[in-house]
Amino acid sequence: MEEFAGIVSHDLRNPLSIAQGYLELIEGNPEIVGEIDAALERIECMSDDLLTLARDGEIVGEVESERIADAAADAWDSIETDEATLAVSQAVGTIDADRDRLVELLENLFSNAVEHGSTSPASHTQQDAVEHATSGDERIRVRVGPLDDGFYVADDGQGIPDEVKSAVFDRGFTTAEDGTGLGLRIVDVMADAHDWTIDLVDSESGGARFEIRAE
């Protein structure tokens, strides 16, 4: 229950930060009010859903075949992504999952890429360096692609050093001064609850790549 409370607290930060950010701009703008309503509704739904599962002693609820691309789009819309771009392969298919937990898993992977993957010339391949120089775009690029039995989430950021790869899923581990060390732990918990495996490797561009496979 202590870990579950930490999960709820951590995952409420994204929609809350969205609501707080828009509140600073609100001047009777209906569009902004709508963004705040959506963020707060996300908080309410997540809290109710997770607390119901906790009372049942479960993390994952009803499992159905879910389109990964749709879940990725929902997850991307739920976090602050001004410093990043998302590309989802058309070849990404479906996976048997609790839709809300799948979105939550993706939210945390995307947030990890955006918050910890600031671009560095040393972390890019020569081709990436040329593309960045041509476009003038230094935003993190996050990709969701297919695996034979699952999917991956990769970025072109600084990557994760080999010496800490084995610790990134540990509760409380973080390399950021203001990090909670819960984001990737949540990913690991959600994957395990679905009987999925998750592996961390280097992406082709030198960033991080998380591979999720259904057993």
Which pLDDT belongs to residue 181? 57
Which pLDDT belongs to residue 183? 77
More confident residue, 4 or 183: 183
Q: What is the mean pLDDT of residues 109-127?
A: 61
Residue 35 per-residue DSSP state: H
Enter the pTM of the model: 0.72
Tens of pLDDT, residues 153-210? 999 988 888 888 878 887 766 655 555 556 788 888 889 999 999 999 999 888 999 9
Cβ burial of 140 (10 Å; 0-12, 13-18, 19+) is: buried
Tell me the C-alpha distance between 171 and 169, whole Å: 6
pLDDT above 90 for 69: yes
- Give the sign of the dihedral formed by CA 183, CA 205, CA 150, CA 201: negative
HSE toward the beta carbon, residue 148, CA cutoff 13 A: 1
Which pLDDT belongs to residue 5? 62
HSE toward the beta carbon, residue 19, CA cutoff 13 A: 14
Which pLDDT belongs to residue 134? 36
Please, are residues 119 and 85 in contact by the beta-carbon 8 Å criterion?
Answer: no
Where exactly are the structural domains of the chain? 1-58, 63-214
Q: At 151, which helix (H) or strand (E)?
A: strand 150-155
Q: Which CATH class for the 63-214 domain?
A: alpha beta
- How many helices (H) and strands (E) are present in the chain, helices listed first? 7, 7
